[in-house]
Amino acid sequence: MNSFINKFSLEGKIALVTGASYGIGFAIATAFAEAGATIVFNDINQDLVNKGLAAYAEKGIKAHGYVCDVTNEEAVQATVAKIREEVGIIDILVNNAGIIKRIPMLEMKAEDFRKVIDVDLNAPFIVSKACIPGMIEKGHGKIINICSMMSELGRETVSAYAAAKGGLKMLTRNICSEYGSANIQCNGIGPGYIATPQTAPLRERQADGSRHPFDSFILAKTPAERWGDPEDLQGPAVFLASDASNFVNGHILYVDGGILAYIGKQP
Question: pLDDT by residue (tens digit) across 208-239?
Answer: 989 999 999 999 999 999 999 999 999 999 99
pLDDT of 124 reads: 99
Closest to 252 (Cα-Cα) out of 183, 162, 182, 191: 191
Task: Name the average pLDDT for the chain.
Answer: 96
- Helix, coil or strand: residue 96: coil
pLDDT of 1 reads: 52
Please state whether beta strands 252-255 and 38-43 pair in parallel, antiparallel, or not at all (unpaired).
unpaired
| Active site (annotated) includes residue 179 | no
pTM comes to 0.97
**What is the rounded distance in angstroms from the CA atom of residue 46 to the CA atom of residue 68?**
9
Interior angle at CA 14, CA 11 and CA 16, nearest 5: 135
pLDDT of 225 reads: 95
Q: Which of 66, 161, 179, 254 is catalytic?
A: 161
Look at residue 266 and tell me whether its pLDDT is greater than 90: no
The 10 Å Cβ neighbour count of residue 254 is: 20
* 44-66 pLDDT per residue, tens: 999 999 999 999 999 999 999 99
Write phi, then psi, for 143 (nearest 5 degrees). -120, 130
Strand partners, 185: 142
Q: Is the CA virtual torsion 172, 177, 84, 233 positive or negative?
A: positive
8 Å CB contact between 246 and 185 = yes
* 116-158 pLDDT per residue, tens: 999 999 999 999 999 999 999 999 999 999 999 999 999 999 9
Beta strands in the chain (DSSP E): 14-18, 38-43, 64-67, 92-95, 141-146, 184-191, 252-255
- Helix, coil or strand: residue 98: coil
Enter the DSSP assignment of 43. E
- Sequence-ordered list of residues with C-beta below 8 angstroms from that of 171, at least 6 positions apart, any chain: 121, 124, 125, 128, 145
- The residue-averaged pLDDT of 171-189 equals 98
**What is the rounded distance in angstroms from the CA atom of residue 26 to the CA atom of residue 78?**
23
Look at residue 201 and tell me whether its pLDDT is greater than 60: yes
